[in-house]
Amino acid sequence: MMLEINDLEVHYGAVRAVRGVSLVAAAGRVALVLGANGAGKSSTLRTAAGFLHGESGSIVVDGEEMRGKRAHAMVRRGVVLVPEGRKIFAPLTVEENLRLGGYRASRRDVSRAIGEVYEQFPILGERRKGMAGLLSGGEQQMLAFGRALMSKPRVMLMDEPSMGLAPSIVQTVMDGARSIADSGVAVLMVEQNAEAALRIADDVSVMTRGSITWTGVAAEASLHAVHAVLGDTALE
């Protein structure tokens, strides 16, 4: 299973937010895109997830051109976005949030999928009757992962999962992302937190003002090199 983004352009009026970006996400791997605020990371993911259509370029899922298809069509093809800021439903319980992620499936399939999410993230099972808004930030991010997993994705697009989390929790969330990839999902993650994300990533690209300016394997992406490209904001 493979997601390929080729030469993607996304504009907002005169603002060229994404300029000729090409990225690949493959099953079992974490492809990481590091970039400062405003680099165009969310615009790239939102286009790959069908929430934006982009100006040109291609979004290919298993060999099929999908750019311009709507988000529900992307979900059906196995591509799901875990949005920036998590966007969980605070007044609903953990389990109700998970059910929302599985709304297309039969009741029995939903129950089975919920059980699988609790196996992968036991803390969600322990909190299943609790209000999602009362979870810690890290638990809310796990819930956002879990809700996305309910649609049995083959590609997960993760928009800054560490944003706003206490440093002590960030690695746990990154480990969660790693375990999702290890279960066979293709993960495309965008982050500003280079240090934590590099520990679990396989492939790394650096995005600067709408363009990919560096690509390599995580083991070779020394923090020093990333810092030089991203500037100080990347390592804060």
Ligand X SMILES: Nc1ncnc2c1ncn2[C@@H]1O[C@H](COP(=O)(O)OP(=O)(O)O)[C@@H](O)[C@H]1O
Interacting residues with Mg ion (CB under 5 A): 41-42, 84
**Exposure string over 219-233, b if 16+ CB within 10 A, otherwise e:** eebeeeebeebbeee
CB of 11 to ligand X, least distance (A): 9
- Paired tokens of 40: 């165009």
- If one asks whether residue 205 binds ligand X (CB under 6 A), the answer comes out as no
- Paired tokens of 45: 């993911």
- If one asks whether residue 47 binds ligand X (CB under 6 A), the answer comes out as no
The residue among 150 and 196 lying less far from ligand X, judged by its C-beta, is: 196
| C-alpha span between 147 and 195 (Å, rounded) | 26
- If one asks whether residue 35 binds ligand X (CB under 6 A), the answer comes out as yes
Bridge partners for 3 per DSSP = 25, 61
Residue 191 CA to chain centroid, in angstroms?
A: 9
Q: Could you say which of ligand X, Mg ion, none residue 35 binds, taking C-beta under 5 to 8 angstroms by partner kind?
A: ligand X
- Contact (CB, 8 A) for 78 and 152: yes
CB of 99 to ligand X, least distance (A): 29
| C-alpha span between 70 and 194 (Å, rounded) | 31
| C-alpha span between 115 and 227 (Å, rounded) | 41
Give the H or E element holding residue 50: none
Q: Which one of the spans 33-41, 71-79, 90-98, 138-146 is the region binding ligand X (CB under 6 A)?
A: 33-41
- If one asks whether residue 12 binds ligand X (CB under 6 A), the answer comes out as yes
Q: Which one of the spans 30-38, 54-62, 124-132, 133-141 is the region binding ligand X (CB under 6 A)?
A: 30-38
> Residue with structure tokens 């993650």?
189
Q: Which one of the spans 39-47, 109-117, 175-183, 212-220 is the region binding ligand X (CB under 6 A)?
A: 39-47
The residue among 67 and 99 lying less far from ligand X, judged by its C-beta, is: 67
The residue among 150 and 157 lying less far from ligand X, judged by its C-beta, is: 157
Binder among 17, 34, 170, 200 for ligand X (CB under 6 A): 17
The residue among 38 and 115 lying less far from ligand X, judged by its C-beta, is: 38
Give every CB contact of residue 86 below 8 A, 6+ residues apart in sequence: 140, 141, 143, 144
- Contact (CB, 8 A) for 108 and 76: no
Q: Could you say which of Mg ion, ligand X, none residue 15 binds, taking C-beta under 5 to 8 angstroms by partner kind?
A: ligand X
Interface positions with ligand X (CB under 6 A): 12, 15, 17, 35, 37-43
